[in-house]
Structure 1
Amino acid sequence: MATDETPDGRDDEHAVRLEAGAARLTILPDLGCRVGSLTVGGVELLRQGPNFGSFPMVPWCGRTRDGQFRNGGVLHQMPRDAGPHAIHGTGRHVAWRTAPGTTGGSACFYYDLAEPWPYKGRVSQRFELSEDRLDLTMSVETTDDSFPAQAGWHPWFLRNLGRGGQDALIDFTPGWMEERGDDHLPTGRRVETKPRPWDDCFGMPDGVDVTLTWPDELRLRITSPAEWVVVYDEQPPAICVEPQSGPPNGLNTAPRLVTPIDPLEVRATWAWEPLG
C-alpha cells in the first residue's frame, strides 16, 4: 500500500483544478476520477497518495462476497481483490473522460462500463466547488439491460492537519450498526454501536450526517440523502467517512436495479467552517 509520501498526481497533465475563494480542488480523471487534493486556506484535508485522496466506489461499494452477485438467475464473477472478496468497484481503476463545460468551480466526468463488469452503461460524476462546500453527484445509467448497482465515495480525511493541532473528533448518531462478521461483511443483524476503531457500516435512515472537527482549526460536515455510511479509522493517518447507496455486499443483500427509466443517482456534500 502506498505511503503518505507517495506523489498524489497533482502535477498530472490531465488533472482538473477548481477554485472558489480559499478552496482548491484537484481531480485526477486518469486515476479513477479521484480527488487528489482538497485544500482550504492552504491546508490539505485529504491523505495523499495514488491509493488515497477520495475515490468513487462504483458499480458497487465495499466488499462483495466471493466477488459474486446475481442478476436474476445469472451469476457473475468479479475479480477478487480483497482476499476472497471483490472490493469498491471498478471505477477507481479506470480513466474517466472530462465532459465539456468545465468552469472555474465545476466539472463533470464520465466513463463507460466495460469488462470485468458484465453490463453496458455509463457512470457520470459532477463536482461543484464553492467557498465553503463541495457538492458531489454520481449517476449510473444503463444503455441496455437492467442490472444491480451501488455508488458512493471513499474519502481519506487526514486525522491530523499537521499544524500542531489536535486529531479530528467524529460525531454522528446512526440508527444502527451493521454487525460485521469475521469475513468483514455484514451478517444481516443490526446492533448497537460498538467502540472504535471501526471498519463498519452504519444505517442513517434520515440521510448521512457526520461531522469531523479538528479543534480550533476546522469543522467538516459530510451529508448525503443516502442512508448508509461506512466509517473506517483503523489506520492512524486518516478517517474515512463513506456515504453510499447501500451496505457492503449490497449487490446480493439489498440490490437496487438500474433500469433504462430509473438510473441510480447519489449525492453528497462536504461543508467546512474554519474555527481558528
Structure 2
Amino acid sequence: MNVRAPALYAHRVENETKLTAGDAELTLEPGHGCRIASLRVAGTELLLQGDRFGAFLMVPWVGRTENGVFRNGGVTHQLPVDAPPHAIHGTGRHVAWQEAAPPTDTTAAYYYDLADPWPYPGRVTHTVQLAPHSVTLTMSVEAAADGDSFPAQAGWHPWWRRNLGQGGQDVELAFSAAWQEERGSNHLPNGNRIDPKPGPWDDCFGMPDGVDVTLTWPGEMRLEVRSPASWVVIYDEQPDAVCVEPQSGPPNGLNTAPRLVTPIDPLEISTVWTWHRIG
C-alpha cells in the first residue's frame, strides 16, 4: 500500500476511520470488529445505524455452526454457543483489529490474529478501497507458518436500510440464483438444493458464476453487490433493513463444505459494492 502525505491521511478519531471519495464517505470502527459503521452517498446513509448493524465481518466462519461444533480431520472442537444452540458469525466481529498500514483518504487495511476461542493460530486481514461510486472489500485468512491447517470461512453482513428515509419507496431486491439451500428445522441447510422460493428469506443461495444482487430504492438509488464467491445469504425479515451477505461457503460450512486454509494456501474473498443515484 502506498503511504501518502499526512494531509491526505484518512480522518481518525477515537478508533474511527473515515474514508472519502467524491461524495461517498465510509466510516470504519477497527476497535469494534473492523465494522463498517456508515456508508453515506451524497449525505444519504445506506446502512442501518446502531452497534449491531452497519456492515460487520463474519470470520473465521459465517452464519451458524451446528451446536458450535466443527471437526478438523479426527479432532473435534467446541465453539461458544452464542446463538443457542449454535455458534454464529465468527469471532472477528468481537475483537479489536490492528492497523496494517496507515490509512489514506480512500484506503485502509486492518488485521487481527486468530486466538481463543478459535483453536488454530492465524491472521485475518481486511482491506477497504473506496471510490466515488464503489467500495471494494477484500478479506484473507492465513494459517500460521508453523501452525496446523484448518477449515475456515469469511464474508460480510451488511444491513442495508429498507427505506432511505427521504419519502421514497422501500428497497427492491433482484437476483437470479442457481439454487436455494433448503433450511431444516434447526435453521441450517439440510443438504437439499431446491429451486429458489419467493421471500421473505433468511436463506442461503448458490451462485456458481459469482454473487450478483441488485438493491433498488425506486427513484433514489441502485446498488449492486457482487463477489467472485459462490454463496450469498439473503435476510429480509426485519422491518428496517435487508441483508445481502456474500460469503465463501454456506452456513455450517465448516462441517459440510470445509475450505482448508494451509500455511501456503490462504482463504481469500472479495466483494464490490457499486452504487448509482437515480433521477
Same fold by TM-score greater than 0.5: yes
1:11 CA drift (Å): 9.3
Deviation string 1:155-205 (CA, Å, 9 cap, x unpaired) is: 000000000000000000000000001111000000111221100000000
Contact 1:12–1:28, Cα closer than 8 Å, also in 2: no
Q: TM-score if structure 1 supplies the norm length?
A: 0.95
SS in 1 for 2:166: coil
| Matching residue of 2:34 | 33
- CA distance in structure 1 between the aligned counterparts of 2:31 and 2:83, rounded to whole angstroms: 23
| Matching residue of 1:125 | 126
SS in 2 for 1:241: strand
Q: Does 1:156 align with 2:159?
A: yes
SS in 2 for 1:252: helix
- CA distance in structure 2 between the aligned counterparts of 1:12 and 1:174, rounded to whole angstroms: 41
Contact 1:64–1:251, Cα closer than 8 Å, also in 2: yes
1:16 CA drift (Å): 0.6
Q: Does 1:168 align with 2:197?
A: no
| Matching residue of 2:57 | 56
Contact 2:12–2:18, Cα closer than 8 Å, also in 1: no
Give the aligned CA root-mean-square deviation in angstroms.
1.1
2:216 aligned to which of 213, 217, 228: 213
- After TM superposition, the structure 1 = structure 2 runs for residues 10-49 of structure 1, keeping only pairs within 5 Å, are 13-49=14-50
Contact 2:30–2:110, Cα closer than 8 Å, also in 1: yes
SS in 1 for 2:182: strand
Give the number of aligned pairs: 267
- CA distance in structure 2 between the aligned counterparts of 1:160 and 1:242, rounded to whole angstroms: 18
SS in 2 for 1:99: strand
Contact 1:229–1:241, Cα closer than 8 Å, also in 2: yes
Q: Which consecutive unaligned segments of at least 5 residues does structure 2 have?
A: 1-10
- AA matched with 1:134: V
| Matching residue of 1:3 | none
- AA matched with 1:85: H
Identity within the alignment, %: 65
Give the 3 Å change call, closer, same or farther, for CA 28–71 of structure 1 in structure 2. same
1:101 CA drift (Å): 3.3
| Matching residue of 1:194 | 197
SS in 2 for 1:92: helix
- CA distance in structure 2 between the aligned counterparts of 1:147 and 1:218, rounded to whole angstroms: 41
| Matching residue of 1:237 | 240
- CA distance in structure 1 between the aligned counterparts of 2:97 and 2:269, rounded to whole angstroms: 18
| Matching residue of 1:181 | 184
Q: Does 1:270 align with 2:273?
A: yes
- CA distance in structure 2 between the aligned counterparts of 1:176 and 1:101, rounded to whole angstroms: 42
SS in 2 for 1:220: strand
Q: TM-score if structure 2 supplies the norm length?
A: 0.94
SS in 2 for 1:150: coil
Q: Does 1:223 align with 2:226?
A: yes
- CA distance in structure 2 between the aligned counterparts of 1:64 and 1:12, rounded to whole angstroms: 36
